[in-house]
Amino acid sequence: MTSRNGKVPMHFRTMAQTDVPQGRNGRHKQIVTQILQDLEKVQDRMALKVPLAELADGKEKVRSALNRAARKAGRDVATASDATYLYVWTANGE
| The amino acid at 79 | T
Answer yes or no: pTM beyond 0.85.
no
Q: Which of 54, 13, 14 is nearest to 32 (CA)?
A: 54
Buried b (16+ CB within 10 A) or exposed e, 74-85: eeebebeeeeeb
For residue 21, pLDDT beyond 80: no
Q: Residue 31: what pLDDT?
A: 93
CA distance 69 to 88: 13
- Sequence ranges of the domains in the chain: 26-90
Q: Residue 22: what pLDDT?
A: 74
- CATH classification of 26-90, choosing from 3.30.1370, 3.30.200, 2.30.30, 1.20.1070? 3.30.1370
Q: Residue 72: what pLDDT?
A: 93
pLDDT tens, residue by residue, 47-89: 999 999 988 888 999 999 999 999 999 999 999 999 999 999 9
